[in-house]
Amino acid sequence: MKKEEKQAKVDALHRELEKAKTIILSSFEGLKVAADTELRRQVRSRGAHYEVVKNSLIERAAKGTGLEPAAEKLRGTTSLAYTAADPVVLAKILTNYAKENPALVFKAGVVEGRVVSMDELTALANLPSRENLLARAMFLMKAPGQQLAVTISGVARNLARVIQQGVKENKFEASPGN
């Protein structure tokens, strides 16, 4: 690759890394081409990106981004997975894939500008999806109001039943002056 091509690649990658919320660096030595192709397909289908990049290019592109501390002193073959969308989705794809293909080994990760360990990445992958968490939060916010409405309507309903029962049993008499 010529120097100009390398610089263009670094600039393009730098722009992508600035937008990314989640960036995961991994080693893929020993991963078969078919397995790598499957991983790329899974990552792309969820709106994320996965590519193999030279360590020196990653280090230069990471300058001034959240990945900079994690990209220092990279060794061996390195693949880069990143997304500007939900971090949980990418973490789930990669951790599930790594369980089936032990050749994929995590080197470093950055989520929302914070360097994360393998344990933190696994914990992130075990979280429910963003939509599921939002649905749970909405349910919890709505529950007290819903319970109040049920309680209030129960009081009115019970009063109506008592009055109806009283009418049925002729408990209400007309007053003598009416």
Torsion from C-alpha of 86, 90, 91, 92, nearest 10 degrees: 100
Distance in angstroms (rounded) separating the CA atoms of residues 59 and 41: 26
Mean confidence (pLDDT) of the chain: 84
How far apart, in whole angstroms, are the C-alpha atoms of residue 45 and residue 51?
14
CATH of residue 100's domain is 3.30.70.1730
Of 127, 144, 166, the position where a domain reaches its end is: 127
Residue 1, pLDDT above cutoff 80: no
Can you tell me the distance from the alpha carbon of 95 to that of 86, in angstroms, rounded to the nearest whole number?
Answer: 15
% residues pLDDT > 70 (the chain): 97
- Cα 36 from chain centroid (whole Å): 23
Put simply, whether the predicted model's pTM sits higher than 0.95 gets the answer no
Instruction: Specify whether 112 is located in the same domain as 153.
Output: no
| Residue 14, domain extent | 3-127
**Angle 68-72-73 from CA coordinates, rounded to 5°:** 170
pLDDT digits (tens, 9 = 90+) for 57-78: 888 888 888 788 878 778 888 8
- Domain total for the chain? 2
Same-domain pairing of 161 and 104 = no
